[in-house]
Amino acid sequence: MSHATSTILQIVTEARAGSLLALSPNFDVLALVRQGLEQTLPENAHILCTGRLFISATRARDYKNALISEFVSREELIEALLCSCFIPFYCGRTPPTYRGEQYIDGAFSDNQPGKWEPGTITVSPFSGESDICPTDEDSARQV
């Protein structure tokens, strides 16, 4: 089993441990995601990702979308990823920061920003036209 898979399974196990499951006040999904990223990402991840990984995040002060693609350190890459995972109130009240600015999940401003070059892989947690996304079971049955 890959390290990424075992990390996700650990998060699921912790989410199911409380009486309110993932809504339990003791369940800190961002801490678990950070821990998984710190254990998984290589030391030069920021170098490998700069200019190749584009993270959609929403600036908390004005809800403007930002595409983050430059990282000066591994920690800065992790901060950007955590910002893009932050769902207000579910993850807490205070958004994480990237370069001193608070950001939340990019879906609050633009779920699939940008026009992409051929060969770009798009990822979404929602079914649709992204390269990596869940299948839409209802639509699959209509075919």
Q: Would 122 be classed as within a structural domain?
A: no
Q: Would 123 be classed as within a structural domain?
A: no
What's the total number of domains in the chain? 1
Task: Give the 3-state secondary structure of residue 69.
Answer: coil
Look up the domain containing 52 and give its range: 3-112
Task: Give the 3-state secondary structure of residue 102.
Answer: strand
Task: Give the 3-state secondary structure of residue 106.
Answer: helix
Q: What is the pLDDT of residues 87-116, one digit of tens each?
A: 998 888 899 999 999 999 998 998 777 767
| pLDDT profile of the chain (143 residues), mean per 10 | 69 64 67 89 97 94 95 98 91 92 93 73 78 73 52
Q: Would 105 be classed as within a structural domain?
A: yes
Q: Note if the pTM is more than 0.75.
A: yes
Q: How far apart are CA 115 and CA 105, in angstroms?
A: 19
Q: Would 134 be classed as within a structural domain?
A: no
Q: What is residue 31's predicted lDDT score, i.e. its pLDDT?
A: 87
Q: What is residue 80's predicted lDDT score, i.e. its pLDDT?
A: 98
Q: What is residue 111's predicted lDDT score, i.e. its pLDDT?
A: 73
Q: Would 142 be classed as within a structural domain?
A: no
User: Can you give the three-state secondary structure of 37-62, one letter per residue?
Assistant: HHHHCCCCHHHHHCCCCCEEEEECCC
Q: Would 133 be classed as within a structural domain?
A: no
Q: Would 121 be classed as within a structural domain?
A: no
Q: How far apart are CA 57 and CA 84, in angstroms?
A: 5
